[in-house]
Amino acid sequence: MNKNNIELLKISHKKTIKVSINKAKQKKSNVTLIIGPGYYKGMNDELLNYLSDYLIAENVNVIKFDYPFANKKIKIFLGIGHLKKIYKKVFGYIQSKEEFKNDYFFVGGKSLSSIVSSRIISDKIIGYLFLGYPQKVTFLKIPLPSKLLFALKKPMFFIQGTNDKYSDNKKIELLVGALNPYARLMLIPETDHSLKLLSNTKRSQKDVDKEIVDIVLWFLSDIVNKNINNN
């Protein structure tokens, strides 16, 4: 039985957001991933749902949430600083719950939330997961800043599509190289910014999604084991 639960979190005097708490299926887990959505899709994005279902079956808690503009036809961009405050509230809310107090935390997100989650700093966080980390916006000539990544000094995992219009393969390789030894990179051939397959490929989307969740589980397990061995 899936032990997920939707709760409403108050983020301001008038606004609340949905937080989806997906607990590990088999037994109580002390590993929790908080993953934020992209700009265009909310927490029920197909890949995030698949990742959540897979990880809770492997004894990892997964927390998803929506930004206030989720599912609205007209989206008003709130700015990275404002979104950081929302993400930070979600993180604090989960941390305050008794069942998560002693957990190993990973934070991350898809696209926009990759940038936002990289601004969340806590001693409780042991790793960061970025799905489609954007380095530019197509209508802007200036690159999106990435210097704050160098202050994290925690394990980071970038999963990128080779045909991502918001990121250049060589530049993301250079960025990950400069972040060594903290960062790792996986480039998924013939996929776009959302890690969706291009129409002319012979592989199935299910194959790609399975490849992604397998490597995410490996990353989480590897970092948790290293933390256990070092303590």
Tell me the pLDDT tens digit for each residue of 130-186: 999 999 875 555 566 788 999 999 999 999 999 999 999 999 999 999 999 999 999
159 beta partners: 131, 186
Q: Specify the residue for token string 């995992």.
A: 157
Q: Are 65 and 17 in contact (CB under 8 A)?
A: yes
Token representation of residue 96: 């305050």
CATH topology of domain 3-230: Rossmann fold (3.40.50)
List Cα–Cα distances, 154 to 20, 176, 211, in angstroms: 26, 13, 24
Token representation of residue 52: 């959540």
Task: Enumerate residues 6+ apart whose C-beta is below 8 A from 67.
Answer: 17, 36, 37, 42, 78, 83, 86
Element (H, E) at 36: strand 31-36
Q: Residue 1: what pLDDT? A: 36
> What is the band of 12 on the pLDDT scale with cuts at 50, 70, 90?
confident
Q: Residue 102: what pLDDT? A: 84
**pLDDT at residue 188 above 50?**
yes
Mean pLDDT of 95-122: 94
Task: Enumerate residues 6+ apart whose C-beta is below 8 A from 192.
Answer: 161, 163, 164, 165, 198
Q: Where are the alpha helices (DSSP H) in the chain?
A: 46-57, 80-96, 112-117, 169-178, 205-230
Q: Are 87 and 36 in contact (CB under 8 A)?
A: yes
Indicate the SS3 state at residue 207.
helix
Q: What single letter denotes the amino acid at residue 208?
A: V
Burial of 56 (0-12, 13-18, 19+ CB in 10 A): buried
Indicate the SS3 state at residue 120.
coil
Mean pLDDT of 48-71: 92
Distance between CA atoms of 136 and 142, rounded to whole angstroms? 7
Task: Enumerate residues 6+ apart whose C-beta is below 8 A from 56.
Answer: 2, 3, 4, 22, 23, 24, 25, 62
Cα dihedral sign, 190-194-199-202: positive
Q: Residue 2: what pLDDT? A: 45
Higher pLDDT, 1 or 97: 97
Note if the pTM is more than 0.85.
Answer: yes
